[in-house]
Amino acid sequence: MSILRPLRRYFLPSRTMGRYVIRVFLFRFLGIAIGVAVVLQMLDLLAQSDEILASEGNGTSELWRYVWLRFPELFSRFIPFSALLAVLLTMATLSQHSEIVVMKASGMSAHRILLPLGIACFGIAVTHFMLDQIMVAPAKAELEYWKRFDYASDLPPPPDILDDLWLMEGTSLVLVKAVSRSGNRVILDKVTVYERDENDLLSGILRADFAWHTDGQWTLYAVRRFDVTSHEIMTAQSMPWSLASPPERFFSLNVDADQSSFSKLWRSISQLQREGQPVSALKAGLLHKIAAPAASLLMPLLGAIAGFGQQRRGKIFARMAVGMGLGFTFFVADNFMLAMGKFGAAPPFLSAFGAMIIFASVGFAALFYSEE
């Protein structure tokens, strides 16, 4: 500890100053984050209240249920934006009261002044990540399910059923109208197999009322097969099906990155990778679950321009506008890169962290320039 103490004193400011800066920043952050989320929630509720109350039996309790499911997503979405505004206001206040001048006069460099804000933003990023996995993803999935049935008041919990799934098995295309789970058994309903030859031409169509997986083998029931070449129709009560896909593959095919937790999405990607399926879009969504909360770590760099610079120049509002402009540009670029990743036009890592790397470089460059 005696060896690390000089290093800590070199990089970290005094505890009193650090606690003061963190307290000022967190006070502004919470006020902005809660205020923005509440205003957006009120506007969103006004827009959706007619549809919610139009369903028979709905009333005040359903409106509060909508708020309960919608508010976590709105609050989570604007956490980095609120952190940016809080950094801008904190740095502008410290600069306006000449507190940054006093810190520099005492020998503190720019990184030592920003370090308390970085520590606070790290805590915000970790909390943001946990909030997304524990509350936001399940609430969004439940809200989408409720919205799909027009906000019905007597809607039962969402069943473990998937519908209209396509997959490729060898040269054949398989359509499953519904996938359900009964205990340890997975049941496929209304199975259609479009058999193709080596030239990708249709050679036969096989239909079955249902199929299930037992003892490592799929079995089709109430089977009918049409042969395209001979025009013959074959029927059978049951027959084995040489489908190599395990049951869990069907549940991985219909995963939504925005409505899944990090662990669930990770398992689905691993399952699809073992099956040789393309997972670049899901990987982009998985990495963005880390990049979105980590964006708060970038806000001290983008907002530092509001506090640093020669004080005799004034123009503090102009510096705040530049910092806000950098922040808005970052959010636009981040959403653009995420969309590119989901469409497969950009590698997953670049789509998730590309904008952050670029704007971190811009923030460091602006910081060094202001110091010079």
What are the pLDDT digits (tens) for 54-99?
888 888 898 999 999 999 999 999 999 999 999 888 888 887 777 7
Residue recorded with tokens 């309790």: 61
Using H for helix, E for strand and C for coil, what is the string for 224-282? EEEECCCCCEEEEEEEEECCCCCHHHHHHHCCCHHHCCHHHHHHHHHHHHHCCCCCHHH
pTM of the model: 0.74
Distance CA 83, CA 300 (A): 8
Helix (H, G, I), strand (E, B) or coil at 12: coil
Name residue 187's beta-bridge partners: 180, 212
Return the exposure string of 127-154: e unless at least 16 CB atoms fall within 10 Å of the residue's CB, then b: ebbebbbebbbebbbbbeebeeeebeee
Q: What is the pLDDT of residues 169-198, one digit of tens each?
A: 777 888 888 777 666 677 788 888 888 887
Q: Which residues contact 54 (CB under 8 A, 6 or more apart)?
A: 150, 151
Structure tokens at 33: 């984050």
Q: Is the dihedral of CA 163, 166, 170, 172 positive or negative?
A: positive
Name residue 206's beta-bridge partners: 193, 225
Distance CA 202, CA 195 (A): 6
Determine which helix (DSSP H) or strand (DSSP E) holds 140, and give its type and residue range. helix 137-148
Structure tokens at 314: 């004034």
Structure tokens at 244: 């190599």
Distance CA 169, CA 218 (A): 13
Cα 144 to Cα 61, 169, 255, distances in angstroms: 18, 31, 14
Cα 193 to Cα 104, 126, 159, 190, 222, distances in angstroms: 72, 46, 26, 10, 14
Distance CA 340, CA 346 (A): 5
Query: Percentage of residues in the chain with pLDDT exceeding 70?
Result: 84
Tell me the pLDDT of the chain (372 aa) as tens digits: 455 555 555 556 567 777 888 898 999 999 999 999 999 999 999 999 999 988 888 888 989 999 999 999 999 999 999 999 998 888 888 877 777 777 777 767 777 778 888 889 999 999 999 999 899 988 888 888 788 778 887 777 665 556 667 777 777 888 888 777 666 677 788 888 888 887 778 888 889 888 887 777 788 888 888 888 888 888 888 888 887 777 666 666 667 777 788 888 888 788 777 766 677 888 888 888 999 999 999 888 888 776 675 555 556 777 778 778 888 888 889 888 888 887 777 888 888 898 899 888 888 877 777 665
Distance CA 345, CA 144 (A): 27
